[in-house]
Chain A
Amino acid sequence: MTKTLLAATALCSVLAGAATAQTYDIRVWSGGSSAADSYRWEAIEMAADILEREAAIRGEEISINVEYMWEFGGWAEFKQAVTLAAEAGDAPEIVVTSHLDIAPWSQAGYIVPVEDYLDLDAWPLSDVYPNLMDIAAYGGVQWGVPQDAESRPFFFWREHMRAIGYTDEEIDALPEAVLNGEYTLQNVLEDATRAVEMGLVEEGMGFSPRVSNGPDFAQFYQSFGGEFYDAETGKLVLDRAAMTEFYQFFVDAVEAGVTSRTHIGTDWNEWYADVANGNAAMWHGGTWHYGRYIREGNEDFFGTIAFTLIPSGGGETGRANTITHPLVYLVTDQGDDELQGIAAQLVEIATEPRINTLHAIKSAHLAVAESQSIVPLYAQDPWADAATSVLLPHANSQPNHPDYGVYSEAMWSGLESAWTGVQTAEQAVAELEAELVTVLGDQLIVR
């Protein structure tokens, strides 16, 4: 009898507890992610645990269920999934996506500003690099929080550079020389040509660019002084001269035999294997490729490879640069204000240095906050440490503008035409201009 009573009492108290505990279901969808990026959602799970404990200490009982999804096939499928879910009123509460989605998604009303829920002046958000915070803002509103940072540097195979005639000291000084505009894209062409002529690499492997469209190519437009965005008017900018020189650089590379005319569309695995093992003299890629080099059998990254900003195109307007294309945490307009508040708080906690560092190091990305550099895991990682100091201070981003997607697709199309010899650089730029002027109308400034 006593036993039954006790059991009943226990059951009642459990039920009562369950009834008073506020339950929140949070779904996290992460785009462009692989298993190595697991902390994009695991950080939210950790944050949920912390938030529950904090609430318990305050005497509130909350329960947060985190569900995640990251296998979408590709970016296109992910973006379709999120937008269709949002249209159907069933969007995940948190998405991890490109900062370029902020402009269209905020206009469409799919997302809510995190600044409505979070104190941007308080730790940990106050500690996030201001330029990264700006990249997650649009129209003066803080829509998201940077989830990671990366950058897209230029790489040199040390052994080939030595064979061409550079001393070790000169190779080590390359980052400085590139930054100061002393080593330019013209030098890249010359050295790559020498590497091919001397038989160090096969023809077409002097300079091996990224094999598909991506933010990387926007860097070469910037190398020749090109700008994408006019902050004053909020319009996109097409700089004809810079665009022509940028296209011409790839045309010249093909003509010199250092880059293959049919390079676009090369299998990624083949490309990774080539650049990680000295089959290319120079190339450009992402900071997160670092982990991949080891998997491709290159155990000595720093001993075999040197990296710099993307060199300037020369001339007065040219500038060395690198683009960072951070992913951001966004909170969707899903559920009520309270749920959105919880989602925003989870994002805030996930941004704390120790938690974000887990992602940064596991996935070979860079820190989003200054104090991550003193988190031991980060500080002890040679690549994170080196890449952060050489690249991140000089990184800029592509503009958050609803029409930038159209611009960047057309720019890539023009580059492909010039690169593959279907059009000359001038023809490709003329067609690009005609296309953009027609489609974007007064949202474009042509210089």
Chain B
Amino acid sequence: MRQDRIGFLFLTPALIAVVIFYLLPVVMTAVFAFTNMSTATGIRGGGYLVTEQTLRDLSGHGLTGATLSQLADAGYEVDTEGLAALAATFGDRLAGHIEAELGGESFATSRELERALRDLRAPELRITRDRKQAASLFQRSVLNIRHDTADALRDELTGAGIPGGDHDMIIEAAYTGWSWTMRNFELLLSLPSTARYALNTLIYVALTLVLFNVGLGLLLAIATFYLPKPSAAVFRAIWFMPRILPPVLYVLMWKWLMWDNGFLASALAPFGVERINWMLHSEYHAWVAIILINGVVGASFGMIIFASAIKAIPQTLLMAAEVDGATRWQQVRYVILPQMRWPILFVTAYQTLSLLASFEYILLSTGGGPGSATEVWAMAAFRTALNNYGGNLQYGMGATFALVLVIIGTVLSLLYLRFFNFQALLAKPRIER
């Protein structure tokens, strides 16, 4: 019992980190994914604002013409109610003056009424702020006034004489905040672009993983295993360089290599090869570039893990194989590879998840181009939720993209565990049973 408690105590920092940095973001993503949240709706929730656009939308949704024109044309009225309020604030002299000059008149906008008030040249209204305050006392329109609650807008509508039956429809249209919706998922299923992002992601993850992160990693680990120790260390250190280089610099070097006035184009030009942008000339060029750029970074991770795993293989096994006359290839095939199952599981699972979520090298190199030929799912999530020149960021839709990634990642991890028979690794040794 005590031991258990100490165990939990030691785990606490890790658990807190998992909750804050993993669970919480996942839960938030899941919540956001079921909303239409965007810059325009805000995050904290919205207010109630009847605008010109609300009226236009309402006219298409069956609000009666009478109510519509009542809402649209209310404007500003110089009536007894307003004059009384004015007298209370600015005194009877001004109220009398305005009643005499403007009494009974109506104005479409505050600006028109303010002009009329300015023309009166009343000393009380010489300052802009006072003129605006006076004009606001005559406002009978509910347009463009933001209310924090639905009830506040309802009171305003009642005050403006809008029939009670229409209130709900108006309030619904006037709501500026976000609401719960399944629409994002429908969009994901129906948009032509999402199918392409999915396919791109599959190509990107599968090829990088199989060819480089696991394939080349394994090859390098085995190759360096048979090298003399000092040269193996140098060789591994060289392969490790791309990983410790800042991504921006690393990709810049690829650009210098591959762009139309880069090294490759210049080196091939004397042989009559047309100068092209080797990174972006076609979608095939772009894919080769993307997989190389990611793969060269990714291979070093597998190399280190696999190399350590090979070192852990008891020397006696290899010596025995040598004595039995096994060739190098046979050693690799029958001694080394069978012992690499768990490291391969680990590297495959870890790198799948990391490739699924990573797009920084793509963003920096091809930018998802040419066209959107190399745009992957995670990048679409980023662009939708956080990068829009026009300014209206689609948080809800971006979260839906991200949520799908979380689900795919979880499912894939479970599949890997099953496929590599992870249970067997965790099972107690037979001797302890």
Residues of A at the B interface (CB closer than 8 Å) are 75-76, 79-80, 83, 87, 98, 100-101, 103-105, 107-110, 113, 115-122, 139-141, 213-214, 233-234, 260-262, 264-265, 341, 398, 402-409, 413, 416-423, 431, 434-435, 438-439, 442
For A113, the closest partner residue in chain B by CB is B144
Identify A435's interface contact among B38, B193, B388, B394, CB under 8 A: B193
* Contact A233 B56, beta carbon cutoff 8 Å: yes
Given contacts A76-B386, A108-B42, A409-B388, contact A260 B56 (CB under 8 A): no
17 CB contacts below 8 A, A to B, read A104-B38, A110-B42, A121-B115, A122-B128, A234-B56, A260-B277, A262-B280, A264-B367, A405-B391, A405-B393, A409-B383, A409-B390, A417-B372, A419-B371, A422-B373, A438-B190, A442-B60
Identify B387's interface contact among A76, A404, A406, A418, CB under 8 A: A76
* Contact A107 B40, beta carbon cutoff 8 Å: yes
Which residues from chain B contact A403 at a C-beta distance below 8 Å? 392
For A141, the closest partner residue in chain B by CB is B144
Question: Which residues of B from 7 to 28 have beta carbons under 8 Å from A?
Answer: none
Given contacts A100-B390, A213-B389, contact A260 B260 (CB under 8 A): yes
Which residues from chain A contact B386 at a C-beta distance below 8 Å? 76, 80
* Contact B42 A87, beta carbon cutoff 8 Å: yes
Which residues from chain A contact B282 at a C-beta distance below 8 Å? 421
Q: What is the size, in residues, of chain B's interface with A at 8 Å between Cβ atoms?
A: 59
A139 to B46 alpha-carbon distance, docked (Å):
18
Which residues from chain B contact A108 at a C-beta distance below 8 Å? 39-42, 46, 176
Whole-angstrom distance between the Cβ of B404 and the nearest chain A Cβ: 17
A16 to B170 alpha-carbon distance, docked (Å):
53
Chain A interface: which of B47-55, B87-95, B227-235?
B47-55
* Contact A438 B187, beta carbon cutoff 8 Å: yes
Which residues from chain B contact A404 at a C-beta distance below 8 Å? 390, 392
A108 to B393 alpha-carbon distance, docked (Å):
12
Whether B77 sits at the interface, judged by CB under 8 Å, is no
A103 to B388 alpha-carbon distance, docked (Å):
14
Binary contact track B175-190/A, C-beta < 8 Å → 1, others 0: 0100000000001001
* Contact A120 B388, beta carbon cutoff 8 Å: no
A80 to B43 alpha-carbon distance, docked (Å):
13
Whether B328 sits at the interface, judged by CB under 8 Å, is no
Which residues from chain A contact B60 at a C-beta distance below 8 Å? 442
* Contact A107 B49, beta carbon cutoff 8 Å: yes
Whole-angstrom distance between the Cβ of B150 and the nearest chain A Cβ: 15
For B388, the closest partner residue in chain A by CB is A405
* Contact A87 B44, beta carbon cutoff 8 Å: yes
Which residues from chain B contact A115 at a C-beta distance below 8 Å? 110-111
Which residues from chain A contact B366 at a C-beta distance below 8 Å? 265
* Contact A121 B111, beta carbon cutoff 8 Å: yes
Whether B146 sits at the interface, judged by CB under 8 Å, is yes
- With contacts A104-B38, A402-B38, A408-B390 known, what are 11 further pairs, Cβ within 8 A? A83-B39, A87-B42, A107-B176, A119-B131, A122-B128, A234-B56, A402-B392, A405-B388, A413-B371, A421-B282, A439-B187
* Contact B389 A234, beta carbon cutoff 8 Å: no
Which residues from chain A contact B40 at a C-beta distance below 8 Å? 103-105, 107-108, 402
Which residues from chain B contact A139 at a C-beta distance below 8 Å? 51-53, 144
Identify A420's interface contact among B56, B187, B369, CB under 8 A: B369
Which residues from chain A contact B193 at a C-beta distance below 8 Å? 413, 431, 435
A139 to B383 alpha-carbon distance, docked (Å):
28
Whole-angstrom distance between the Cβ of B395 and the nearest chain A Cβ: 10
Given contacts A139-B51, A234-B52, A431-B193, contact A416 B388 (CB under 8 A): no
* Contact B191 A439, beta carbon cutoff 8 Å: yes
* Contact A105 B192, beta carbon cutoff 8 Å: no
* Contact A422 B191, beta carbon cutoff 8 Å: no
* Contact A431 B192, beta carbon cutoff 8 Å: yes
Which residues from chain A contact B176 at a C-beta distance below 8 Å? 107-109
Which residues from chain A contact B110 at a C-beta distance below 8 Å? 115
* Contact A262 B390, beta carbon cutoff 8 Å: no
Whole-angstrom distance between the Cβ of A192 and the nearest chain B Cβ: 18
Whether B132 sits at the interface, judged by CB under 8 Å, is yes
Identify A87's interface contact among B43, B47, B283, CB under 8 A: B43
* Contact A265 B367, beta carbon cutoff 8 Å: yes
* Contact A262 B260, beta carbon cutoff 8 Å: yes
